Copies of this chain bind each other. A is one copy, B any other.
């Protein structure tokens, strides 16, 4: 007698028997690989128009009454002033900018709602904005970790490995930027090696340096070598990921970097990195309002430099542990905040970067994947268009993990299937499948099953879906240990995409000259 769910299921399996499925592949996954995702399900809109308007009004009030502090960039100050901002001197090279309600929105009307970032492989160019979703690996960790060697400072070898692993995954769309800090390369030269690694080991689009205006310029220059200067002037081929200095400050190095990318017609991401209770209010509504205000002020600068330059609104929300005061990632409040940020971005008609595979865990364990999934779901459900930190994020972003990278990319594959939603048509409604044999008869051998079984379901390359006994006989490994074997296999099997030799030489020559021109700096 069936005793609830499980017996019913097993009853069915006994009665229906089992059809042997072909071992068709070692797990590439069933969702179709594509250069980026075009979502087929709506976004998850959780807040009313009225509440959204109140958040926007608060952002406007912050910008008009408190304002943004701008430091060390007189040129940016002049641009804002010319556009109508009220500017007050508050110290040597420090200004307070105030913006009338609606002014920044007006300025941003020239920013594209959707744009293409071109990859050196044209089949891998990504479309950012609208219903498109682009996954890129995690960004900015000083440490790396794996199960064999634990946590250690990142090196350029790690950096290259992460670029290769990302390139190996069919479920990422973009090579990202500072996939880890290559701490064994001088601070003032590592941007050259990073940009080169993206170009050499990936054929996808990528992010350039933002740590100094001349490094931003070098990044764009290397793209001119790769794509040709004319192409670069009229197409977005690189982007910079810029943080505001929360709360409510724009640092001159940041604004100079933003100006560099915008002047070159290249893309930029404008990210307030908000830790609730530290640099932002710890109530979600206020955190979102502040994030919106800061990102708007930063985005607008691009249009003052070059109207039409691609700009991405962005948010990064994190919470705080009551007990330790530490920042926490992958928690529910930031996930909810990200959904709201999605609604606000759509009202502005701007592309959005938001959330990612966030976690505070120090291992690729259950905590890591639970937190990641909560955070990542908010990105894809909330309509984020560019999801940096889609893979590898551990340790509150202090570490990039080899194992988590492959676990997360596998999850990204599942999210392809998720975002495909439900197709409803005569065939998928499958009346004939049930009618063919009728009640009580399993469907293994129906025409409908035979027609669909190879493509119906996402097929993870990493999850173990075998019966307990088989799994146990094969060593009873947990998913982190399987991921450890997988990244090593992927690195062993990695093949670099072809790169024109003349271009390669020109890039290496450019880098050599740049490196020779200045002494090493280590801070």
Tell which of A125-133, A302-310, A331-339 binds the partner: A331-339
Distance in Å from the Cβ of A486 to the closest Cβ of chain B? 12
Q: A112: CB under 8 A from chain B?
A: no
24-55 of chain A: CB within 8 A of chain B: 24-25, 27, 30, 41-42, 44-47, 51, 54-55
Verify A422–B46 contact, CB threshold 8 A. yes
75-95 of chain A: CB within 8 A of chain B: none
The CA of A287 and the CA of B318, in the complex, are separated in Å by: 38
The listed residue with most B CB atoms (<10 A of its CB), out of A2, A440, A465, is A465
Q: A229: CB under 8 A from chain B?
A: no
248-265 of chain A: CB within 8 A of chain B: 248-249, 251, 253-254
The CA of A370 and the CA of B410, in the complex, are separated in Å by: 11
B-chain residues with CB within 8 Å of residue A372 when the two chains form the complex: 370
B-chain residues with CB within 8 Å of residue A519 when the two chains form the complex: none
The listed residue with most B CB atoms (<10 A of its CB), out of A12, A45, A66, is A12
B-chain residues with CB within 8 Å of residue A271 when the two chains form the complex: 5, 8
Q: A158: CB under 8 A from chain B?
A: no
A-B contact pairs, 11 of them (CB 8 A): A5-B139, A12-B245, A12-B246, A66-B431, A284-B423, A285-B424, A286-B428, A289-B429, A337-B422, A366-B368, A367-B478
Verify B243–A4 contact, CB threshold 8 A. yes
The CA of A319 and the CA of B456, in the complex, are separated in Å by: 9
Q: A362: CB under 8 A from chain B?
A: yes
The CA of A327 and the CA of B520, in the complex, are separated in Å by: 57
Chain B residue with the shortest CB-CB distance to A370: B369
Q: A498: CB under 8 A from chain B?
A: no
Q: A443: CB under 8 A from chain B?
A: yes
The CA of A287 and the CA of B476, in the complex, are separated in Å by: 32
Q: A463: CB under 8 A from chain B?
A: yes
Chain B residue with the shortest CB-CB distance to A374: B373
Q: A433: CB under 8 A from chain B?
A: yes
Verify B442–A472 contact, CB threshold 8 A. no
The CA of A244 and the CA of B325, in the complex, are separated in Å by: 51
Distance in Å from the Cβ of A295 to the closest Cβ of chain B? 13
The CA of A434 and the CA of B282, in the complex, are separated in Å by: 11
Verify A361–B275 contact, CB threshold 8 A. no
Question: Which of B19, B322, B462 is within 8 Å of A21, CB to CB?
Answer: B322
In the complex this chain forms, how many copies of it are found?
A: 2
The CA of A422 and the CA of B478, in the complex, are separated in Å by: 37
Verify A211–B2 contact, CB threshold 8 A. yes
Distance in Å from the Cβ of A461 to the closest Cβ of chain B? 10
The listed residue with most B CB atoms (<10 A of its CB), out of A141, A335, A362, A454, is A362
B-chain residues with CB within 8 Å of residue A440 when the two chains form the complex: 69, 245, 247-249
B-chain residues with CB within 8 Å of residue A11 when the two chains form the complex: 245
Verify A441–B247 contact, CB threshold 8 A. yes
B-chain residues with CB within 8 Å of residue A42 when the two chains form the complex: 45-46
Verify B324–A465 contact, CB threshold 8 A. yes
Tell which of A115-123, A391-399, A487-495, A508-516 binds the partner: A391-399
B-chain residues with CB within 8 Å of residue A234 when the two chains form the complex: none
Verify A429–B58 contact, CB threshold 8 A. yes
374-411 of chain A: CB within 8 A of chain B: 374, 377, 381, 388-389, 395, 397-399, 407, 411
Q: A227: CB under 8 A from chain B?
A: no
Q: A414: CB under 8 A from chain B?
A: yes
Verify A44–B44 contact, CB threshold 8 A. yes
Per CB-CB distance, the 7 closest pairs between chain A and chain B, nearest first, are: A286-B430, A281-B430, A8-B243, A6-B140, A248-B439, A373-B373, A69-B439
Question: Which of B12, B241, B362 is within 8 Å of A278, CB to CB?
Answer: B12
Distance in Å from the Cβ of A406 to the closest Cβ of chain B? 11
Tell which of A99-107, A445-453, A499-507 binds the partner: A445-453
The CA of A279 and the CA of B399, in the complex, are separated in Å by: 45
Q: A435: CB under 8 A from chain B?
A: yes
Verify A459–B321 contact, CB threshold 8 A. yes
Given known contacts A6-B397, A433-B281, A449-B277, is B458 in contact with A325 (CB within 8 Å)? no
The CA of A9 and the CA of B276, in the complex, are separated in Å by: 11
